[in-house]
Amino acid sequence: MKNRREFLIALLAAGAGLAACGSAERPPSVPVSTPRGDIQPDAPTAVAPAEGAPRPVARGEMSPALVAANNRFGLKLFANLRDADAAGNVFISPASVAIALAMTHNGAGGETQQAMARALELNGLSLDEVNQSYAALLQTLATADPKVTLSIANSLWGRQDVAFRQDFLARVRLFYAAEVSALDFSDPATVDAINAWVNEKTNRKISRILDRISDDAILFLINAIYFKGAWVKAFDPQVTREQPFILLDGSRKQVPMMSRSGTFHYLRGEDFQAVSLPFGAPDAESRFSMVVFLPDESSSLDALTARLTAEQWATWMGQFGPSEGFLAMPRYTLEYEAGLNNALSALGMSVAFDPQRADFSPMVDLRPENVFISNVMHKTFIEVNEEGAEAAAVTSVEMGVTSAREEPERFTMIVERPFLVAIRDDHSGALLFIGAIVAP
């Protein structure tokens, strides 16, 4: 094992240096079908709030409590999905799921609203505080770093013959900048229109979120996130080499392994190593980073993720420090998708999926029929290469109706076995993406 490792280090370390950083691109505009019906189309200018209605807070008033709540929710959701598929890659966007469900939360009432608040870890925050904090968070992230592309878009797609409550629509427009459209759900072109919006907002990385619209569907609440950033210090593609990656069953898969030496933000944990790789311009303060956790050979990815609570995550994030070392990690591209009904029910919001008990009366009144969440679908994409990383996520909520530390010694970190990866906003601490990569 020692000889093989020394050979791998020598092979990968040869010629490591900087590569040109790719520039971030803005997604092109794609036309979406003209809205019709009871949901009014968005005006070119912002919708003014009704007299006495809460207004968005300034960007500086973003609530750390909301960011902490989102991270707690996201890590619990990630753990649940990992438990359900421990042998496969799992890559999610906690931010995307939380935002889509926060918009839905505005239309929930009674026991359903309370259950959603508990599942989303929003206890102690009023609906108005949640909405204002999201407005501030979205404003902050939209202008966070000119060297990194980060776009977050929200939309509501309603059945044109359903009259949704105007105060509900006003809140999601005002606080979440949601585009609102009313379309004929019986027209096959509606599926194409929604998928075209998803394709545009993810810069063509996720082309579809819907295959069809069921007869009972009345509304889709959709969030899309797109991220693209170049490493502050790139990997040299000329020193990337095909090397074995050890899979969960002990077999090996050849992968392109990038490598470089230098000073890293590094953490040596009790049974793992971790690096934080910043995105952005070399001469500017970095706002976003990718964190890679590699369990020790004597440990495992399961053991690491079993300890992954929001409190432990925050502790680890505060323990990184500069250290000289050598890093090798795979270049990879993967896509992931999952239905979230079971996972969200396990987190405590099963009542929202119950056709008989769900209460979404603040969203729409269709009595004697009842409205409930019929499906939550999540899709993600990530590509990591020598220049940087590109990631995207879409979450669709379908509403249905019934009828200070010591300096470490120089390290060597070869990511040649299943590992944990995350993309975060280092200023607010917001967790944008997190994944368990078992087969890059």
Q: What is the CATH number of the domain that holds 326?
A: 2.30.39.10
Assigned domain for 34 exists: no
Q: Is 177 exposed, middle or buried (0-12, 13-18, 19+ CB in 10 A)?
A: buried
Note down the domain range covering 422: 7-23+233-331+406-437
Which regions in the chain score pLDDT beneath 70?
1-62, 143-144, 283-284, 403-408
Check whether residue 254 and residue 391 sit in a common domain. Answer: no
| Bridge partner list, 386 | none
Assigned domain for 218 exists: yes
Check whether residue 89 and residue 175 sit in a common domain. Answer: yes
Check whether residue 325 and residue 411 sit in a common domain. Answer: yes
Check whether residue 117 and residue 208 sit in a common domain. Answer: yes
Question: What pLDDT shows up at residue 61?
Answer: 61
Assigned domain for 38 exists: no
Assigned domain for 223 exists: yes
Q: Are strands 411-414 and 321-330 parallel, antiparallel or unpaired?
A: parallel
Assigned domain for 185 exists: yes
Check whether residue 178 and residue 310 sit in a common domain. Answer: no
Check whether residue 173 and residue 315 sit in a common domain. Answer: no
Check whether residue 312 and residue 358 sit in a common domain. Answer: no
3-state secondary structure of 353: helix
CATH number of residue 123's parent domain: 3.30.497.10
Check whether residue 241 and residue 368 sit in a common domain. Answer: no
> With contact defined as beta carbons under 8 Å apart, do 377 and 398 qualify?
yes
The answer to pTM > 0.95 is no
Q: Tokens 């989102």 identify what position?
A: 70
Helix (H) or strand (E) holding 159: strand 148-159
Check whether residue 75 and residue 158 sit in a common domain. Answer: yes
In 3D space, the residue among 106, 98, 9, 49 whose CA is nearest the CA of residue 430 turns out to be 98
Question: What pLDDT shows up at residue 7?
Answer: 38
* Number of other residues whose CB lies within 10 A of the CB of residue 149: 19
In 3D space, the residue among 17, 105, 52 whose CA is nearest the CA of residue 399 turns out to be 105
Residue 287 CA to residue 276 CA, distance in Å, equals 12
Residue 219 CA to residue 398 CA, distance in Å, equals 6
Check whether residue 159 and residue 264 sit in a common domain. Answer: no
Assigned domain for 45 exists: no
Check whether residue 136 and residue 251 sit in a common domain. Answer: no
Question: What pLDDT shows up at residue 146?
Answer: 73
How many domains does the structure of the chain reveal? 2
% of the chain exceeding 90 in pLDDT: 75
Residue 295 CA to residue 305 CA, distance in Å, equals 10
Assign 3-class secondary structure to 120-136.
CCCCCCCHHHHHHHHHH
Question: What pLDDT shows up at residue 428?
Answer: 87
Assigned domain for 52 exists: no
> With contact defined as beta carbons under 8 Å apart, do 375 and 392 qualify?
no
